[in-house]
Amino acid sequence: MTFSLPAVAVGAIGTSIIAAMVSLVGLTVSKEQKVSELRQAWIDALRDDLAGLCQVDGRRLPE
């Protein structure tokens, strides 16, 4: 006794696998984008804090 899937079922399974892979790639890209945004915000805040530390009474520290 042999078991075979209809061509339509094979196509549907293939399509769902491709859709899942595309969704996974999209999720990964969006996560990396959000991490980059948060990292950039952290760097900007650090720069502002360091700039505040480098200024004493409105004077710049010598370079």
- Tell me, letter by letter, the H, E, C secondary structure of 20-34: HHHHHHHHHHHHHHH
Give pTM, 2 decimals: 0.57
Degrees to nearest 5, angle at CA 40 with 38 and 41 = 65
Phi-psi sector, 19: left (phi>0), alpha (psi -120 to 50), beta: alpha
pLDDT at residue 60, as a whole number: 62
pLDDT at residue 4, as a whole number: 83
- Which three-class secondary structure state does DSSP give residue 19? helix
pLDDT at residue 2, as a whole number: 77
CB contact at 8 A, 61 and 54: yes
pLDDT along the chain (63 residues), means of 10: 83 96 95 93 93 71 62
